[in-house]
Structures are given as structure tokens and as C-alpha cells.
């Protein structure tokens, strides 16, 4: 039986208030986040992390002084490993965080010590972006090369309409929609982390794939029985970002006197952007904008359908040749998505 290593990638988060500033520096010093020459990026990352650290510390203080993302990801890794073992596979799951501990370099060392027959790289970002999954996969390649890690490897670049993901998200959403209908017909806001428009225009498939996830979940819920809108949160800086913003959609619903159900469509774990931005800041905004009821759908977390979907992804990846794949093992981005890792070289 082949011994398989599965690496689950996520953003990472500070494990103490003292770690907030270096975490932010690592984030903004990533060329996938700020595509400027290295010395300039380093200087900007120093300034931005210094300026944003006090605000970020306040956020993480509200979460007990640290990010819950690592714990959430470890729980998912344990659930996935257990399910794959039940299915008869010899699999060990590792966690690799992009901007804080355990760093990707640490995961490379652990995989190397395991000496697997096959390696599956699985970002916990259902929709591909060069700023998230792309950055993690690129960093893995760099660290693996430095360590001399050579093993047959398959990269799962994206899975925006993976059936388990869609089923879990639809089931959780249906519960909140039913609760909201006691007050009135809700507006269902699928909220995703935003990106600067210039990144999308440069060929990043993220926005299109988020739209595909929303369409799949709405279809599963039984469209057109709900009014669904896609919106984007977490805007920072003066650049033009993709929209509409979640704040604007909450305001719009409040003006119409409609209850709101918010679905975190691009996050699979609870962290600061769900527990603080959605649960506290946007709930406060909703109460001041006349929204009669504001409900937030939990992230899919370790929902059995989602974990089952991840297990399916791993099993499919083991069966295909080395390289990137989607959950259907072919390119799903159109030709304008130049940052898609499945883009043919002739495209």
C-alpha cells in the first residue's frame, strides 16, 4: 500500500499578541500580496505592519489573544486523516501555514522525515487565487527544492464546486434561512474576502470561481427560492477592489427592512474575518442600518460532507499524474485566467 502525505495549507495567524506584528510583516512581504521590487516591498511591509499592528492586536485580543485558525486546521487534518484511514489508505496529514507557525518549511521537513510514496498538496482555499493557494504552492516548491525533497506530487489547485463543499455549505445555510424566515424573507449574502480589481484583471480566477461556488450552493438550496447576492469584505487601502462590498449590501437590505443571512463562501474555518468582522462589526452595522435580523452561517469546518469531499479530492489526486488538478482533474478556468496553475503553456 502506498504511503501518502497530504499537506493542508492555510493562511496562518498569530499565536500571541506579540506575534501580530511579525505575522503582518510576513503577510505584506509576500510578493504575491505586494508585487513590487524586493527592497521596496520589505520597507513597505515594515511600515504597514507597524501601522496595522495596534488594530490587529485589538482584533486578536477579542479572540483570546491569538488566532484560532491553527487549531481549526488541525481539527480538519485529523478528521481527514481518520476518514482516509477508514477508507483503507495509509495517509498522514500535515498542516502548513503561509505566514506563521507551523511554516511551510517545517511541513517540508516533516514530510521528508516521513518519506512518503506520494504527496498531495491541498490548499484549504476552495477558490484559487495567486494571493492564497498560488502563494502557498509556490513557497512549497521553493522550500522543497532547498530541502532536496523529491517525491511524486500532485497539487490540488482549486475545488469551487466540489460536491461535499457545496452540500455542507447549503445545509448550514438552509438552517439560517429557515430561522430568518420567521421575521421575513431574507437576503442571503455570500461574503468572500475581496481582492484589488487589478489582480483580477491580471488574470486571477478567484472572482469567477467564487461566483461558481455561489451558483452551485444556490442551486442546491433550490433556486429561485432565495434571493442571493455575492459581495466582498475586508477591503484595505486606497485601491479599487472588486465589489459590491458586504457593508453596502447590508445597508441595502436594511433600507428594505429585510433580514440578512451572511454566508462565508470563501472561508472553510473560523478566524478573525468571520468571528470579528462578520459576527461583531457587520452585526453592529446591521443593527444600525435597520436590518431586523442578522444571522451568520458557520464555516464548513469539519462538517462530514466537507471532510468527505476533501477525502474524495485526495483519492482522485492519487490516481492522476503529477501536477496540478482541480476536483474534476481538468482545467476549469477560461483562457483569460492567466494565473491559473492549470493554464496550458500555449494559452
Is 193 annotated as ligand-binding? yes
CA 317-215-230 angle, 5° bins: 115
Look-up of cell digits 442571493: 228
Phi, psi of 15 (to 5 degrees): -95, 5
- Give the 3-state DSSP-derived string for 138-199, with helices as H, strands as E and coil as C: HHHHHHHHHHCCCCCEEEEEECCCCHHHHHHHHHHHHHHHHHHCCCCCCEEEEEEECCEHHH
The C-alpha R_g of the chain, in whole angstroms, comes to: 20
Look-up of cell digits 496529514: 93
Integer angstrom CA distances of residue 213 from 48, 100, 158, 302, 327: 32, 28, 11, 18, 13
The answer to whether 111 and 120 are in contact (CB under 8 A) is: no
- Nearest CA-CA partner of 298 in 266, 276, 269, 336: 269
Per the annotation, where are the binding residues? 193, 273
Known binding-site residue numbers for Fe(2+): 193, 273
Amino acid at each position: 500500500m502506498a504511503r501518502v502525505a497530504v499537506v493542508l495549507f492555510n493562511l496562518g495567524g498569530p499565536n500571541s499578541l506579540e506575534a501580530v506584528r511579525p505575522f503582518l510583516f510576513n503577510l505584506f512581504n509576500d510578493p504575491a500580496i505586494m508585487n513590487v521590487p524586493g527592497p521596496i516591498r520589505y520597507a513597505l511591509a515594515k511600515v504597514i505592519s507597524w501601522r496595522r499592528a495596534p488594530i490587529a492586536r485589538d482584533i486578536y485580543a477579542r479572540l483570546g489573544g491569538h488566532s484560532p485558525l491553527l487549531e481549526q486546521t488541525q481539527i480538519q487534518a485529523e478528521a481527514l486523516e481518520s476518514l482516509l484511514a477508514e477508507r483503507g489508505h495509509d495517509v498522514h496529514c500535515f498542516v502548513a501555514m503561509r505566514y506563521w507557525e507551523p511554516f511551510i518549511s517545517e511541513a517540508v521537513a516533516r514530510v521528508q522525515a516521513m518519506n512518503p510514496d506520494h504527496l498531495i498538496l491541498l490548499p484549504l482555499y476552495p477558490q484559487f487565487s495567486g494571493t492564497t493557494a498560488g502563494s502557498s504552492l509556490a513557497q512549497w516548491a521553493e522550500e522543497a527544492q532547498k530541502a532536496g525533497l523529491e517525491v511524486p506530487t500532485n497539487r490540488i489547485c482549486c475545488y469551487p464546486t466540489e460536491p461535499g463543499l457545496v452540500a455542507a455549505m447549503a445545509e448550514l445555510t438552509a438552517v439560517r434561512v429557515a430561522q430568518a424566515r420567521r421575521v421575513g424573507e431574507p437576503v442571503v449574502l455570500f461574503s468572500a474576502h475581496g481582492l484589488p480589481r487589478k489582480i483580477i484583471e491580471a488574470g486571477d480566477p478567484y472572482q469567477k470561481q467564487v461566483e461558481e461556488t455561489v451558483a452551485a450552493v444556490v442551486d442546491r438550496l433550490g433556486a429561485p427560492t432565495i434571493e442571493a447576492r455575492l459581495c466582498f469584505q475586508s477591503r484595505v487601502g486606497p485601491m479599487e477592489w472588486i465589489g459590491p462590498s458586504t457593508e453596502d449590501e447590508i445597508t441595502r437590505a436594511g433600507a428594505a427592512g429585510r433580514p440578512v443571512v451572511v454566508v462565508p463562501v470563501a472561508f472553510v474555518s473560523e478566524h478573525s474575518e468571520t468571528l470579528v468582522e462578520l459576527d461583531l462589526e457587520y452585526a453592529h452595522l446591521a443593527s444600525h442600518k435597520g436590518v431586523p435580523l442578522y444571522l451568520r452561517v458557520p464555516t464548513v469546518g469539519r462538517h462530514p460532507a466537507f471532510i468527505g469531499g476533501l477525502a474524495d479530492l485526495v483519492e482522485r489526486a492519487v490516481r492522476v499524474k503529477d501536477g496540478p488538478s482541480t476536483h474534476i482533474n481538468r482545467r476549469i478556468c477560461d483562457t483569460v485566467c492567466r494565473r491559473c496553475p492549470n493554464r496550458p503553456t500555449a494559452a
